[in-house]
Amino acid sequence: MIAYARSQVGKRYVRGGEGPYGFDCSGLTKRAYARAGLRLPHSSGAQARRARTVSRSKARPGDLVVGSGHVGIYMGNGMMIDAGNHRTGVVYRKLYRGLSVSRLG
């Protein structure tokens, strides 16, 4: 899952996109988690509802990073990969204020 997410950095943001050429936030997480054998819906809210919140201090690579209407993948060391918007596309960046970390399973 982590390797897949890293390999998508630089791809463009596409509303409703699940790859391979572009993604929206939940499309990226859906596709990455599928690589690990986990099926997720294509909705940031529905993905967040399947997970339980954990503190940032307990975050592990592969956890979901959840915000209002947004989702990404925690990569460790306070960093995440997400498909932010049309300007950024899929990027590797620091967690920002307003995000929580959630764990599936």
Catalytic residues, by residue number, are: 25, 70, 82
Backbone torsions φ then ψ of 7, nearest 5 degrees? -70, -10
Which residue, among 57, 105, 98, has the nearest Cα to 78 in the 3D structure? Answer: 57
* Amino acid identity, position 38: L
Q: Which residues of 13-24 are buried (b: 16+ CB within 10 A; e: fewer)?
A: bbeebebeebbb
